[in-house]
Amino acid sequence: MSDPPSKADLRAAALANRDALSEAQRAVAAQAIARRGLPVEMRPGAVVAGYSPIRSELDPTPLMQSLAAQGARLALPVITQRGQSLRFRVWHAGDRLLPGSLGILEPSPAAAEIVPDIVLVPLAAFDRIGHRIGYGAGHYDRTLAQLHKSKGFAAIGLAFAAQEVKAVPALQHDVPLDYVLTETKAFDFRSS
- Fold entry, domain 7-187: Rossmann fold (3.40.50)
The total of other beta-carbon atoms located within 10 Å of residue 87's CB is 18
Mean pLDDT of the region 5-18: 93
The per-residue pLDDT for 2 is 67
Q: Which helix (H) or strand (E) holds 11?
A: helix 7-19
Q: Where are the domains of the chain?
A: 7-187
Mean pLDDT of the region 93-97: 91
Residue 81: pLDDT band with limits 50, 70, 90? confident
Dihedral of alpha carbons 54, 57, 59, 60, sign: negative
Residues 17-68: tens digit of each pLDDT: 999 999 999 999 999 999 999 999 999 899 999 999 999 999 999 999 999 9
* pLDDT tops 60 at residue 1: no
Least confident of 6-15, 83-92, 145-154: 145-154
C-beta separation of 88 from 113 below 8 A: yes
